[in-house]
C-alpha cells in the first residue's frame, strides 16, 4: 500500500509547486543565489590567503561542491522535519499516528520544497568546475565516487536531520538545538576539517559524521593523504557510514515515537 501512496503524494506536491511556473522559477533562482553566496565567501577568504587548512582554492571548492549537492538533496527530502515542533504543539502529529503509514515518511513527504533544487543545481555546477580544475586521480574507483559521495552525503545529512529533530519529542521547543546540528554540520562540511579546532573537528567529523560527506571523499578524489593522519580507506567509507547512520536514525525515530504521549499528556 505504502509503495503506491508515497509516490502519488510526492507527485501531487511537485505538480502543485510546478503549476506556478514564474514563482517556481524565481524561487529556484533565489535558492541558487543563496548557495552561490556561500561560494563567494570562500573566494573572498582566498583573496587574503593562498591556502586554507593546507588546501588550495580549487580543492576547497571541490569540498564545498560535494557538500552542497549532498545538503541540497537532503534539504529537499528531509527539510520538512523542521516543522515537527509545530506538528507536536498543534496535535497534528497525533493525526499521523492514526494513519496506517510510517510517521517519518508522512512528515518527510508533507511539503516537499522543489524550489530548493536551485541550491543543488548551483552546487552541481561548482562541482563540474572543481572536477575540471583539480588534478583528480581518475580510476575505475574514483569515477563512481563523484556520484556515490554526494548521494551518501545526502543520506548522512537526512539521517542527522531525523536524529536531531527527534529531540523535539522531548524538547518541544528544541528546534534551535536541532538546527545547530543540521545546518551547522552543513556549514562544517563546506570547509576542510583541518581548519577547525580538535573538539569541534571530532564532534562534527565523527559524532555527526560530516567529514564523510565531502572531506574524506575529496581526499580520495585528489589522491591526497589526510593531513590529520586518517587512513586512506576513510575516503571510500561514505556509503557504509551513510548506511549505519540511516539505521541509527530509524531506531532513534522509532524509539521517540513509541515514547510519545500526545499533546495533552
Provide mean pLDDT across the span 235-251: 95
pLDDT in tens, 45-96: 898 888 998 999 999 999 999 999 999 899 888 888 888 888 888 888 888 8
All structural domains of the chain with their residue ranges = 50-108+126-258
Residues 65, 67, 69, CA angle at the centre, nearest 5°?
70
- pLDDT given for residue 76 in this prediction: 85
Q: What is the pLDDT of residue 82?
A: 83
Q: Quick: pLDDT tens for 132-171.
A: 999 998 888 889 999 999 999 999 999 998 998 888 888 7
What is the pLDDT of the chain when averaged over all its residues? 84
Cβ neighbours of residue 69 under 8 Å, at least 6 residues apart?
A: 120, 123, 124, 127, 150, 153, 154
How far is residue 182 from each of residues 9, 154, 161, 188, measured CA to CA in Å? Answer: 25, 12, 6, 10
What CA–CA distance (Å, rounded) separates 114 from 131?
Answer: 26
Confidence of residue 250 (pLDDT cuts 50, 70, 90): very high
Q: Give the predicted TM-score (pTM) of the model.
A: 0.87
The DSSP line for 199-240 is HHHHIIIIIS-GGGTTHHHHHHHHT---TT---GGGGG-HHH
Q: Report the share of the chain in percent with pLDDT over 70.
A: 85
In angstroms, the CA 74 to CA 135 distance is 28
Model confidence over 215-236: pLDDT tens digits?
999 999 999 999 988 888 999 9
Rounded CA separation 152/50 (Å) = 31
SS3 content of the chain, % helix, strand, coil (to 5): 75, 0, 25
- Would you say the C-alpha torsion 234, 239, 240, 245 has a positive or negative sign? positive
- Give the pLDDT score at 100: 75
Confidence band, pLDDT 50/70/90 cuts, at residue 4: low
CB-CB contact of 140 with 227 (8 Å): no
19-59: per-residue pLDDT in tens? Answer: 666 766 776 787 788 888 888 988 998 988 889 989 999 99
Amino acid at each position: 500500500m505504502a509503495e503506491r501512496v508515497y509516490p502519488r503524494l510526492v507527485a501531487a506536491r511537485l505538480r502543485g509547486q510546478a503549476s506556478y511556473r514564474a514563482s517556481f522559477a524565481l524561487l529556484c533562482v533565489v535558492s541558487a543565489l543563496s548557495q552561490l553566496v556561500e561560494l563567494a565567501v570562500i573566494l573572498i577568504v582566498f583573496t587574503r590567503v593562498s591556502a586554507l587548512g593546507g588546501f588550495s582554492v580549487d580543492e576547497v571548492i571541490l569540498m564545498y561542491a560535494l557538500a552542497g549537492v549532498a545538503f541540497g538533496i537532503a534539504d529537499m527530502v528531509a527539510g520538512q522535519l523542521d516543522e515537527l515542533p509545530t506538528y507536536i504543539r498543534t496535535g497534528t502529529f497525533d493525526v499521523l499516528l492514526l494513519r496506517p503509514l510510517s510517521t517519518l515518511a508522512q512528515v518527510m513527504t508533507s511539503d516537499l520544497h522543489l524550489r530548493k533544487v536551485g541550491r543543488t543545481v548551483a552546487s552541481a555546477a561548482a562541482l563540474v568546475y572543481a572536477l575540471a580544475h583539480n588534478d583528480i586521480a581518475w580510476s575505475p574507483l574514483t569515477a563512481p565516487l563523484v556520484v556515490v559521495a554526494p548521494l551518501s552525503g545526502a543520506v548522512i545529512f537526512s539521517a542527522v536531520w531525523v536524529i536531531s529533530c527527534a529531540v523535539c519529542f522531548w524538547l518541544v521547543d528544541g528546534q534551535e538545538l536541532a538546527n545547530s546540528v543540521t545546518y551547522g554540520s552543513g556549514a562544517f562540511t563546506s570547509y576542510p576539517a583541518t581548519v577547525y579546532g580538535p573538539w569541534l573537528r571530532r564532534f562534527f567529523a565523527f559524532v555527526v559524521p560530516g567529514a564523510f560527506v565531502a572531506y574524506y571523499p575529496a581526499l580520495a578524489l585528489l589522491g591526497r593523504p589526510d593531513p590529520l593522519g586518517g587512513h586512506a580507506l576513510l575516503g571510500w567509507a561514505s556509503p557504509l557510514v551513510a548506511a549505519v547512520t540511516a539505521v541509527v536514525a530509524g531506531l532513534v525515530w522509532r524509539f521517540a515515537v513509541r515514547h510519545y504521549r500526545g499533546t495533552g499528556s
